[in-house]
Amino acid sequence: MYEDFFAERMASLRMKRSVSAREMSLSIGQNESYINRIENKQTFPSMQAFFYICEYFQITPKDFFDPDNPNPARINDIINILYTLDDEQLEIIFNVAKGLSHKRGETIK
């Protein structure tokens, strides 16, 4: 169960970055088949390797395990931008987001 989620989440995040399993493996200092073996449920990363994986994706461990967040790196980028805005700008962004969510049938208060 956890292995399935972990493997699927890793593959999903990796594909969003349009990077091969081999390239990612080498980027985090592992042998070229490391990520492929994780995604095929043949191995599970150590805690240290998991932190390297999160760092690679520029997300937190919490972000990794949040299935309701399909694009955590992009959302974190947006949040960081929001910190730089003043109240008036935040209100504009809020209203835009609210309008977009209504188009999808969701409601934001």
Instruction: Give the model confidence (pLDDT) of 4-23 as tens digits.
Output: 999 999 999 999 999 999 99
pLDDT, position 17: 93
The CA–CA distances, whole Å, from 84 to 37, 77, 103 equal 41, 12, 27
Euclidean distance between CA atoms 50 and 34, whole angstroms:
12
Q: CATH code for 2-61?
A: 1.10.260.40
Q: What is the pTM of this model?
A: 0.78
